[in-house]
């Protein structure tokens, strides 16, 4: 006997009965009005730069990552970082860096490998840091807020969390902290992708 959805059912014991069952569930990926609005806008413009195309790809792909909140968070941060551009420092600052480079290249107590490594690191100082570039990009969102923080403050928080996830040291990151910021981070990156002309019309957020 088998307790079936249609009631109690009986089966002959010979030939031996065989049973099969299956289940199915539907899945619909989340649709973000901000992403759709951004796509409509960009479709009418000139072709996107490779960095912008990458940002869109990472942003859209992040919505299909359901197994790991940390992986989804990192993908959204990568989408943001794809939009960043490190500006050159002032001529005076670059001249100082050149002075340090010259000093390193003329000393005789360092191996060639050490000199090359130090020079390569110093050359990076001729442009603003990634955190500076990120804060400058976040500032283009004007007075919009995310998780009750200004865009610049929010970037500082999520960028710090990104560093703790990718370069762990000391205490680990609580997944609850990551999950709490994913929603605002989606809005944050989506607003940047939407562009200034579309932010006012995306889901009516301030």
Tens of each residue's pLDDT in the chain, 206 residues: 455 556 667 767 777 777 777 777 666 555 567 777 777 776 666 667 888 889 989 999 998 888 889 999 999 999 999 999 989 999 999 999 999 999 999 988 999 999 999 999 999 999 989 999 999 999 999 889 999 999 999 999 999 999 989 887 756 788 899 999 999 999 999 999 887 655 454 444 44
pTM for the structure as a whole: 0.68
DSSP-H helix ranges across the chain = 33-43, 50-62, 69-83, 91-106, 112-124, 130-138, 151-166, 175-194
Break the chain into its structural domains and give their ranges: 49-85+129-198, 91-124
pLDDT of residue 52: 87
Is omega for the bond preceding 71 within 30 degrees of 0, making it cis? no
């Amino acid at each position: 006997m088998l307790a079936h959805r249609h009631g109690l059912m009986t089966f002959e014991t010979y030939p031996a009965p065989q049973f099969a069952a299956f289940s199915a569930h539907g899945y619909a990926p989340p649709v973000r009005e901000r992403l759709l609005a951004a796509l409509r806008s960009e479709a009418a413009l000139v072709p996107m730069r490779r960095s912008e195309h990458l940002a869109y790809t990472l942003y859209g792909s992040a919505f299909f990552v359901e197994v790991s909140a940390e992986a989804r968070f990192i993908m959204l941060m990568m989408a943001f970082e794809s939009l960043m551009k490190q500006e050159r420092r002032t001529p005076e600052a670059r001249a100082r860096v050149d002075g340090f480079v010259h000093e390193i290249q003329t000393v005789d107590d360092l191996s060639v490998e050490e000199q090359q490594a130090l020079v390569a690191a110093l050359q990076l100082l001729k442009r603003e840091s990634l955190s500076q570039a990120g804060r400058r990009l976040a500032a283009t969102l004007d007075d919009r807020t995310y998780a009750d923080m200004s865009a610049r403050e929010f970037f500082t928080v999520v960028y710090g969390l990104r560093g703790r996830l990718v370069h762990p040291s000391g205490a680990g990151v609580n997944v609850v902290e990551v999950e709490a910021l994913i929603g605002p981070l989606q809005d944050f990156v989506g607003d940047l992708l939407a562009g200034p002309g579309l932010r006012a019309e995306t889901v009516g957020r301030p």
